Amino acid sequence: MTQTSEPRGTRIYAHRGANREAPENSRQAFARALALGSEGLETDVQLSRDGVSLLWHDRTLEKLGLPEARVADIPWQQIADAAIARGWHGLMTLEAFIAAYCDPPDSPGVVLEIKNRMGEPQAHQERNLAQALVLADPLHHAGLIVSSFHAPSLDWARARCPTARLVRNLKADDNIAALRESISLQPFLAGACLSIGQLDRASVDLLRGEGKSIAVYTCNSAEEIDHALTLGVDILISDVPAFALARRNGQAADEARS
């Protein structure tokens, strides 16, 4: 079994909750992830037409029987009704999520990915981010990270909320030059979230040299999980958090015995 450099330093976050055991980004998925021992939750934030921040990943509402509709096109209550009609129980607003998982003193770590959708007015995108920053006040939850693939959103968030821990998500086809440029143009970033396919020693050394944290998505196979653990990332995001925890804890036990 592969040895890890910092097995106890890597925290396992459930990607959209335990999404293989319950509908993704639902109350049931988050509860199940925590019951399995997940140390953090990753989720996605979009804004409904009537200004409600809700947890939804996809570009459309096809999973709720609305294949042509985006979250921004539909009022919250209509989205909630469509979810119930499809048996998608436990769909959450960001406000309900924060109340459930960010207020207790022993609350898990949280990564809020703020979605930016092409074709949406900039004002709508900025309102999505602004509302998320208000609801998930980083001063009240030290384990909260706000992330985005959209660099201008992170600039805007920095100006509005300088205390927020902001992380840039890198796409799977981004290379180390893109990572270096991101760090150079946005030195305020707390870290970067890399695709498991782009995670390597060079990117880790670059981020560590700049004092940045490292998250990686989405690690599901034994090889992917072990690779992230070996490189000592801070946050490992997985669709199979129980499996990832078992790999990490098993490797820690192996190291303790050696």
Residues 6+ apart with CB under 8 A from 211: none
168-184 pLDDT, tens per residue?
A: 999 999 999 999 999 99
pLDDT of residue 78: 96
**Dihedral (CA of 249, 241, 148, 141) sign:** negative
204-247 pLDDT, tens per residue?
A: 999 999 999 999 999 999 999 999 999 999 999 999 999 999 99
pLDDT of residue 257: 65
> What 8-state DSSP symbol labels residue 91?
B
- Domain 7-59+92-257 coded CATH 3.20.20.190: yes
**Overall average pLDDT of the 109-136 stretch:** 90
- Segments making up each domain of the chain, as ranges: 7-59+92-257
What distance in Å separates the CA atoms of residue 90 and residue 102, rounded to the nearest whole number?
Answer: 17
For the chain, list the strands marked E by DSSP: 11-15, 40-47, 53-55, 109-114, 144-148, 166-169, 191-195, 213-217, 235-238
Tokens of 188: 């305020």
> How far, CA to CA in Å, does 88 sit from each of 26, 79, 97, 104?
8, 11, 16, 26
